[in-house]
Amino acid sequence: MFASLKAFEIDRIFGGSGAAQVWHATEIRGVDGRPIPIVELNIPGPGGGRKIETGYNAQYRGGRLVSTIRSDINGTIVIFDRDRANGKSVQQLADYATFRILAPVQDLAVVPEKSVPSILQLFSEGADPPDGLTEFDWAYLSAYYKLDRGAKVSAIHDAAKQAMLDGTGAKLRERAAAGQPAAP
C-alpha cells in the first residue's frame, strides 16, 4: 500500500495521534484533466550524460496565479487502530474520517490549551471527544470548499475564522443535526 508514496508522505500519514492513518491515492494531471505525458530527456555531462524521465505539461496559462496542473484524488484509505477506536461511536468515526478525507488536516496527539472543540480531537490525550463534527469543523469545511483550489493555508484559516464569526459553522451543524442537507 505504501509503494508509490514518498518518504514525506509516509511521515505525514503516521503523524498526529497515531490512532488513524489517512491518505489519498492521487494522480497529477493537466488543468484540463488530461494526463501529463512522460518524456525522456538527455542531460549532457561527463561520459555522455544521462537520461531521465519526467512529466511534460505544455498547457498554457495567461499568468502565474493559477496552476497548470492539478492533483486528482483517485481514492482514499482510512485505517483505524482497533484498540484506540474501541468505545468510539460509528458516528464519531465516520465524522472523523470525513473531515480527514475532505480537507488537508491532521489530528493532534495532545490538545493545545484554548483550542476550539473539533472531531480531530477524537483520539487526543486529555480531550473530551465531541459526538460528531463540531461548529468549527463545519466552518472549516465550508470555508475550505468556498476558496479556490490551491488556496494558501493562511487564506483557509482566515476564511474558517470568518465562517465561525458569521455563524456559518453553527448553521451547518444545526442543519446536519436536523437531517437537512448542508446547502438549501
pLDDT tens track for 79-138: 999 999 999 999 999 999 999 998 888 888 888 888 899 999 999 988 888 999 999 999
Nearest to 84 by CA among 101, 107, 116, 103: 107
Kindly state whether residue 2 falls inside one of the protein's structural domains. no
Mean pLDDT of the region 132-158:
90
Strand (E) positions, 44-169?
Answer: 50-55, 69-80
Nearest to 123 by CA among 161, 144, 97: 97
Q: Number of structural domains, the chain?
A: 2
* Cβ count near 12 (within 10 Å): 16
Whether residue 30 sits in one domain with residue 103: yes
Buried b / exposed e over 31-51, threshold 16 CB at 10 Å, is eeeeebeeeeeeeeeeeeeee
Contact 107, 124 (CB under 8 A): yes
Kindly state whether residue 127 falls inside one of the protein's structural domains. yes
Whether residue 44 sits in one domain with residue 58: yes
Whether residue 100 sits in one domain with residue 33: yes
pLDDT score, position 81: 92
Q: Which residue range is the domain that position 129 belongs to? A: 7-133
Secondary structure element (H or E) that encloses residue 43, with its range: strand 38-43
Of the residues 114, 133, 152, which one is the last residue of a structural domain? 133
Whether residue 106 sits in one domain with residue 30: yes
Whether residue 99 sits in one domain with residue 170: no
Kindly state whether residue 48 falls inside one of the protein's structural domains. yes
pLDDT score, position 115: 86
pLDDT in tens, 30-76: 888 888 888 898 888 887 788 888 888 877 777 777 778 887 888 88
- Cα 160 from Cα 142, distance rounded (Å): 8
Kindly state whether residue 73 falls inside one of the protein's structural domains. yes
pLDDT score, position 106: 86
pLDDT score, position 184: 53
pLDDT in tens, 1-33: 667 677 887 888 888 788 998 888 888 888 888
Whether residue 162 sits in one domain with residue 86: no
Kindly state whether residue 144 falls inside one of the protein's structural domains. yes
Kindly state whether residue 97 falls inside one of the protein's structural domains. yes
